[in-house]
Structure 1
């Protein structure tokens, strides 16, 4: 006599497992590191921690608060307070370079910060000391803030361009449109650029951040 098919055991019902804010932040960090910040949603996050979106909202008010928690988490894990030289101009260089070196590993953080509404409170130690060093260089507080913003724009722009061009080359693995244009320039019309030939891409890919930063800081301090 045929036996009835065996039914798989049903999943236990009841409340989803308890989760902590630390577990939520850790899961969010995995998502943005592996797939990018655009893939981070409350529904996706709930699925990854084996819970429900409502349970996530019990710990964080909305996605903006979650992103702030992520920024603070990365700052706490990655930013190390460097030894600061006595010379205030060199202090600015050391601090800005320390920030840039950390952000280079996390381009999505630069993208978030460039919106100019989110921030990591723990990173304010760096901002305070950069502005203080600029004041020691002779700038007023307001001018020091403007100078800091110029330094930040230089840093953020350089990082975003490098990250974007790196993704483009990794994805396509073939010469870009710019590469093809530079390989076929008319030396009569554009003699300087044509003389560089195929070296333009390698020259512009060189890490000249520190040179640019020094020139920028020197100019800002001289301008007062």
Structure 2
């Protein structure tokens, strides 16, 4: 009887994991998320799509690795010595980091990612909460709540940028749907917005949220 040796059979892979990540990062950076696909990446590397799945379980798994690869492309901000101000600066820094990678919403919608930059920010946030004497459970709830604000802001900003890239119409350029016309309070509010201005201020939302957690009045 012939012995069977477990393991992969055939030629070794033409590329390694780091080369796959680097090529994916280059396509995403130079051509944008709308042009990225596993097929495009495989063609760039001159391998089959299955060759990519040799290293990554899914496209989101690969995108998470790309984000980690690019984690420190965003410079860390100068943080205030005032711990109260610092609590608000850190989530804004993560937003600035993630919106530099418009493909990241695919990963955010599937998982709560913590790349190197986000890990730095979260750690600074928890140390700052300790400095303010915040109980562990309260600081964790505050951090998780702010993370969800961060995710929402990144998704909305990224979708707006991709809409502009596609040349799609903005909401104020479209016909108002009947289900809005039938709701006068909502219609009145929308009618009062200046479409040329950014009506939403995420910093104000974060400041209000932190102020509420600390039992303070919002500085805004």
With structure 2 as the length reference, what TM-score do the two structures score?
0.71
CA displacement at 1:127 relative to structure 2: 0.6
Which residue, out of 30, 37, 40, partners 1:40?
37
Which residue in the other structure is 2:45 paired with?
49
- Relative distance call for 1:177 and 1:197 in structure 2 (3 A) is closer
Deviations 1:73-125 (A, max 9, x none): 121333x3333322211111222221111222223224413433543245312
Assess if the C-alpha contact under 8 Å between 1:16 and 1:52 holds in 2. Answer: no
Match of 1:201 among 195, 202, 207: 195
CA change 1:128–1:155 in 2 (3 A) is same
Q: Distance in 2 between matches of 1:158 and 1:220?
A: 20
The answer to whether the 8 A contact 1:75-1:122 is kept is yes
Contact 1:100–1:155, Cα closer than 8 Å, also in 2: yes
Q: Structure 1 CA distance, aligned partners of 2:170 and 2:121?
A: 39
Relative to 1, partners in 2 of residues 1:178 and 1:94: Cα closer, same or farther, differing over 3 Å? same
RMSD (Å) for aligned C-alpha atoms: 3.5
Match for 2:121 among 118, 122, 126? 126
Alpha-carbon spacing, 1:37–1:62, altered in 2? closer, same or farther (3 Å)? farther
Q: Gapped runs of 5+ residues in structure 1?
A: 1-14
Task: Tell me how far apart the structure 1 counterparts of residues 88 and 122 of structure 2 sit (CA, whole Å).
Answer: 12
Q: Aligned pair in 2 of structure 1 residues 110, 128: CA closer, same or farther (>3 Å)?
A: farther
Residues 63 and 104, structure 2, Cα contact 8 Å, conserved in 1: no
Structure 2 partner of 1:72: 68
1:199, distance to aligned residue in structure 2 (A):
3.8
For residue 162 of structure 1, the aligned residue among 132, 147, 157 is 157
Distance in 2 (CA, whole Å) between partners of 1:175 and 1:56 is: 37
**Whole-Å Cα distance in 2 between the matches of residues 153 and 124 of structure 1?**
15
- Greater radius of gyration (CA): 1
The match for 1:213 is 206
> Could you give the per-residue CA deviations for residues 127-176 of structure 1, whole angstroms, max 9, x where no partner exists?
11112212323321122111011111112212212322443355355453
> Which digits, 9 at most, give the CA deviation of each residue in 1:194-222, with x for residues without a partner?
7x74744334x346122221111111222
When the two structures are superposed, what TM-score results if normalisation uses the length of structure 1? 0.70
Is the aligned partner of 1:27 residue 2:23?
yes
Q: Which runs of 4+ in 1 moved over 6 A?
A: none
Q: How many pairs are equivalent?
A: 200
Distance 1:96 1:117 in 2: 14
Distance 1:76 1:148 in 2: 21
Please state whether the residue corresponding to 2:70 is helix, strand or coil: helix
